[in-house]
Structure 1
Amino acid sequence: MKRRILFAIKLFLLCAVIQQLNGQTYNTIISDSVINNLMKHEITTRAKSYSDSKIWKKKIKSTPTPWSEAIVELISAEYNDFITQKKFIIERDKRYFPKLKKLTEILSKSDFDYMESQFNSELNNKWNFKTKKGRLRDNPRRKYYSYTIPLFNKEHSVALLYSEFGGCSYCGGARMLVYIKKNNTWKLYKSIPLWES
């Protein structure tokens, strides 16, 4: 029995080492470089919230928000699975941007399945990128940004990212960001409002 337990522990540690060598600290499917590339682009190119200081760097919560805790619908308590999150995101998408393609037109069923596998393979690690426009903070209390780990389609050409601004007594909000990669550069396709306070 002791040998089996020791073998299981060694196997777990070996898997963790291999995962780190493969550059996958956010989830077991997408490499860190793909995720960090999009995150640095998001933090560098998107403007600050209207209530954030224009002088200082963005304060980024150093731990990604788990997708199961992303508040995509305020009136529901069910935030824990991909199917529920996807349903609310698609419903929100229908309300905005009538001239732009909807998520169901951009992403296929197999893309959504691939995103679900990423959703279910999240690891609890901190962000490991640096950017000139943002500072990672362990426990920011005021005016900070938090993000989920982006979910990508199969070709890694479309990404969904939950973004939240909080820590103000009178303001805050969340958006679902839809990025599309064109000519090897990420472009924000649309920013779907989810909630504001």
Structure 2
Amino acid sequence: MRRLAALALLPLTLTVACDNSTTTTPPPTTTSTTTPTTSNSARAPRVPTPLETAAYTANPCRSLTAAQQRQFGVSAGDLVDAAREGTSCFYRYPGGVPTATTVTYATRVPTGLNSKYHEHSTGMWTYWEPTVVDGYPALGFQATYVGDPTPQVCNFAIAVTDSLYFWVTADDKPGADKCSAAKDVASAVLTTVKAGA
């Protein structure tokens, strides 16, 4: 995924005040709140077993349990309405480098993960890697450009119903596979949602 570049082109810096001095980079956002109708050639796989997500869309900071937060070395999280697609949780790192991992539920995108496939069909995403996580449609995606100041940032989305997905934005670790950090966090979020924690 790329960093708050409009989920269209991911603009990358937004100042979020946790206190009066914290600057963070929010998750990517789309350039429009209206998602175009997708064609048959630009559709995500169907979700086999839709999940109940009301508790997590209402409070995305429930997405990682305390044990998972310790596993990834992040804080308890702060709610931030930084993405056009829905409210995000910023899980911050001690020391501020990287700044945060974000989890966002795309509650304002009625076509769900199909929206990402439509964007890909228009050439928006330079990195695009569809996959499956524990039976659920998923994909890594990012838009990069010459001189990109944050090429290490990647996004990983998982569909939890046919009309809802969440995505994680995270920095790739040096030497790690592309989007692996975001995928690891997203997989943990899926585990939490499935368990109804």
TM-score class, shorter:
0.3 to 0.5
TM-score by length of 2: 0.32
Which structure's residues are more often helix, by fraction?
Answer: 1
Task: Select the structure of larger CA radius of gyration.
Answer: 1
Structure 1 length as normaliser, TM-score? 0.32
